[in-house]
Amino acid sequence: EYKKIVESFTSGEKCEVDSTKEIVRKSANAVGSLKDTEFDIRFNPDVFSPTVKHKDSSGERLKKERQLVKDAAEFLLTVQIPGFVRDCLENNVSPFDGVTLSEVLHSRGINIRYLGRIAELLQNYKQLDYLYSIVVTELVCRAAKHFFTNYIQNIDMTNLASGISHFLNCFLSSCHITNVSAQTEELQLRPSKRKGKRRNRSNVLTTQESNEWANLTAKSLWSSLRSELESFYGFKLNADSVDSVVETYGLQKVSVLRSFCIKTGIQILLREYSFDNRNKCTFNEEDILNIFPVVKHIHPRSTDAYNFYTTGQSKIQQGFLKDGYELISEALNILNNVYGAMHPEIAQCLRMMARLNYIMGDYAEAMSCQQKAVLMSEKVNGIDHPYTITEYTHFALYCFANSQISISLKLLYRARYLLLVVCGENHPEMAILDSNIGLILHAVGEYDLSLRFLESALKLNIRYFGSNSLKVAVSYHLVARTQSCVGDFRGALQNEKETYAIYKQQLGEEHEKTKESSECLRHLTQQAVVLQKKMNEMYKGNSTTVIPPIQIQAPSMSSVLEMLNIINGILFVQIR
């Protein structure tokens, strides 16, 4: 067919041109185009709406529009959603919370209403249990937001803080709430004494109507949430209270609270909340500080800056770092002129420039750029945003490269604390943070504390990357090295053998890493034999025997930095 089209253009035969039009018409019909002469594929969001009346309800055009929507939905269910799950299994993406999950889904064209379908797929993969918890948290919070929107309409402004705190208690507190109506009547009568008799008369008339919110109980709320989840998202919640939800799905109450407050615009007091106290409510009206409107809006993009940035990224991937750096710098200048001093995309540019400076060996400039990125991310994204956590991690690495070890550790501890609040202990990013902390603690001689973090990172890496992953091999090696420093040669040998087995299987016997592991095994074996001989002599009663000191070779800063680069996925390439 295509050969005939080419020949028709070269020979100028009219009949062949007619066949070209026929081919275009057939192709347009095959893809469901709304026009026969060109590819016109537009989605009408109202084709299945029961409240919208169409001009020609039985016409051919409406049938085509409905078929296009069906095809798009089928594509999402059969291609995009399984593709997203596959990317998560391959660790190409790993969302931290509901915000980053929504961004990842929207970048793939997947609507939030498919969260129930995604949760159904994720529960089959134990490796993705962290993501399953994030998805369930997002589902529960979105269902609670739907209910809260109607709930808050019936609350008088004077009792708004009491109503919100009551809702949060029903939603998240383990305490069984009783006698709420009596408390709310007392609260209603307080302001009337100050406002005078007219205010008092109006309160008496409206008390019954405005007190409807006080009849809400934890049981009725969670029953409504279950119905909402099943009808709106197609997700069946196998729990009827907050405690059973937390136990069944492995959720974290503070993470649910954070997500719900972000979605509804509630600002609460910064204090330690006791969610599991069964004798006292978790929240009171003094905890509700403010409530802000949450507005959806489009983020306009600077086209020129975006083109410079993407071109710079492609240059960097090809190894042309200096050219990429110049393009990223130009994108930064354009963004400053378009948006001003503060914008999320400016923070992204600064982070990329810091990474390029670091790779090219300018550690001081890398730290300076990354500090600006951290400050900007705190301002425009928030101090607990996942992007800010990532900025802290990068900043800690560059601080260590500039010999600011104590600051580096503080930044990593801060990032770890925020990650615990956002998503809890079980997340692949936590393994990277624990490995960083453990390695730096090992470098400064804190071997016992270092071992705790490295063992935690090892468990998480095995859980999320598999027992034969190269990440797991690195974790085994770090644990073995730290165990040898505290005299546990038996454990060190066992872990280093695991490292050697993985390297041998994945890389082969002749690879440099396999040979390094073999040499490390030989050294550990010698140390263990010498120590065991001396111990045996002591058991035989030879009082003159002295246990030799453990030979601890303090790692150089360059070797620690090299290992940190490996953990954080930084590979040095030849600069062209």
Reply yes or no on whether the pLDDT at 30 is more than 90.
no
Kindly state whether residues 348 and 394 are assigned to the same domain: yes
Residue 548 lies in a domain: no
Return d(Cα 14, Cα 198) in angstroms, integer: 90
So what's the pLDDT on residue 206?
Answer: 46
What are the b/e assignments for 313-330, b being 16+ CB within 10 Å? Answer: eebbeeebbebbbebbbb
Lowest mean pLDDT among 94-103, 230-239, 531-540: 531-540
Contact 350, 391 (CB under 8 A): no
My answer on whether 89 and 162 are in the same domain is: no
| 243 residue type, one letter | D
Compute the 3-state secondary structure of the chain and give helix, strand, coil in percent, each to the nearest 5. Answer: 70, 0, 30
Asked if residue 560 lies in contact with residue 482, where contact means CB atoms within 8 angstroms, the answer is no
Residue 188's pLDDT band, with cuts at 50, 70 and 90, is very low
147 and 68 in a single domain? The answer is no
* % of the chain at pLDDT higher than 70: 80
> So what's the pLDDT on residue 257?
94
Q: What's the pLDDT tens digit per position in 299-312?
A: 888 889 999 999 99
Average pLDDT, the chain: 82
Answer yes or no: are the C-beta atoms of 104 and 95 closer than 8 Å: yes
- For 565, half-sphere exposure in the C-beta direction (CA atoms, 13 angstrom radius) is 15
Please report the pLDDT score of residue 390 as a whole number: 93
CA–centroid distance for 6 within its chain: 51
CA 44, 47, 53, 55 dihedral sign is: positive
User: 122 and 150: one domain?
Assistant: no
Residue 137 has pLDDT above 90, yes or no: yes
Q: Does position 187 have pLDDT exceeding 70, yes or no?
A: no
Confirm whether 80 is domain-assigned: yes
Residue 190 confidence class, pLDDT cut points 50, 70, 90: very low
Return the SS3 of 407.
helix
CA dihedral 276, 262, 233, 53 (to 10 degrees): 150
Give this prediction's pTM.
0.83
Considering 57, 91, 126, which residue would you say is the last residue of a domain? 126
Alpha-carbon distance 319 to 313, whole Å? 10
In whole angstroms, give the CA distance from residue 225 to residue 448. Answer: 46
Say if residue 228's pLDDT is above 50.
yes
Task: pLDDT band for 549, please (50, 70, 90 cuts).
Answer: low
Residue pair 23/1 in contact by the 8 Å Cβ criterion: yes
CB–CB of 237/225 below 8 Å?
yes
For 444, half-sphere exposure in the C-beta direction (CA atoms, 13 angstrom radius) is 15
Domain boundary among 264, 291, 318: 291
Does a structural domain hold residue 416? no
Q: What is the pLDDT of residues 235-284, one digit of tens each?
A: 999 888 889 999 999 899 999 999 999 999 999 999 898 888 888 888 98
The predicted model gives 408-423 an average pLDDT of 94
Quick check: helix, strand or coil at residue 289? Answer: strand
* Top mean-pLDDT range of 4-13, 204-213, 436-445: 436-445
Same domain, 314 and 403: yes
Among residues 291, 313, 339, which one ends one of the domains? Answer: 291
118/243 same-domain check: no
- The string of pLDDT tens digits covering residues 444-502 is 888 889 999 999 999 999 998 888 888 898 899 889 888 888 777 788 888 888 888 88
pLDDT at 456: 93
Provide the domain limits for residue 457.
425-539+567-575
Q: pLDDT class for 410, splitting at 50, 70, 90?
A: very high
pLDDT of residue 121: 92
Same domain? 345 vs 246: no
Same domain, 35 and 106: yes
Do residues 465 and 471 lie in contact, with contact meaning Cβ atoms separated by under 8 Å?
yes
Give the confidence band of 506 by pLDDT, cuts at 50, 70, 90.
confident
Query: How many angstroms separate the CA atoms of 283 and 164, rounded?
Result: 9
Residue 485 lies in a domain: yes
Kindly indicate the confidence band of residue 361, based on its pLDDT and cuts at 50, 70 and 90: confident
Are 538 and 547 within 8 A, CB to CB? yes
Instruction: Please provide residue 264's backbone torsions phi and psi, each rounded to the nearest 5 degrees.
Output: -105, -10
Q: How far is CA 197 from CA 211, 323, 379, in A?
A: 20, 76, 47
**Any domain includes 2:** no
Q: Residue 555: what pLDDT?
A: 67
Single-letter amino acid, residue 491: G
As to burial, measured by CB atoms within 10 angstroms (0-12 exposed, 13-18 middle, 19+ buried), residue 559 is exposed
Same domain? For 223 and 316 the reply is: no
Mean pLDDT of 187-214: 50
Separation between Cα atoms, residue 441 and residue 486, nearest integer Å: 13
Calculate mean pLDDT across residues 34-47. 65
pLDDT tens sequence across 76-128: 889 999 999 999 988 888 899 989 999 999 988 898 999 999 999 998 888 89
Check residue 417 and give its pLDDT: 94
Tell me what percent of the residues of the chain surpass a pLDDT of 90.
38
* Residue 134 near residue 145, CB atoms below 8 Å: no
Q: How would residue 438 be classed by pLDDT, with cut points 50, 70 and 90?
A: very high
Q: Are residues 148 and 277 in the same domain?
A: yes
Q: Is 213 exposed, middle or buried (0-12, 13-18, 19+ CB in 10 A)?
A: buried
pLDDT of residue 17: 47
Tokens of 60: 């051919």
The DSSP secondary-structure symbol of 54 reads P
Q: What is the pLDDT of residue 459?
A: 93
The verdict on residue 184 lying in a domain is no
Q: How confident is the model at residue 60 (pLDDT cuts 50, 70, 90)?
A: confident
Note whether 160 and 278 are same-domain residues.
Answer: yes
Name which of 20-24, 323-327, 402-406 the model is least confident about.
20-24
Please name every residue paired with 413 in a beta bridge, in sequence order, or none if there are none.
none
- Output the CA torsion sign for 265, 269, 270, 271: negative
CATH code, 499: 1.25.40.10
Asked whether residue 412 is assigned to any structural domain, the reply reads: no
Q: How many separate domains does the chain show? A: 4
Q: Is the pLDDT of residue 12 over 80?
A: no
pLDDT of residue 71: 82
Query: Which of the four pLDDT bands, split at 50, 70 and 90, describes residue 147?
Result: very high
| 186 within a domain of the structure (yes/no) | no
pLDDT band (50, 70, 90) for residue 199 = very low
Between these two residues, 6 and 317, which has the higher pLDDT value? 317
For residues 207-224, give the mean pLDDT: 79
- Kindly state whether residues 281 and 303 are assigned to the same domain: no
Q: Which among 359, 387, 364, 365 is positioned nearest to 375, based on CA atoms? A: 387
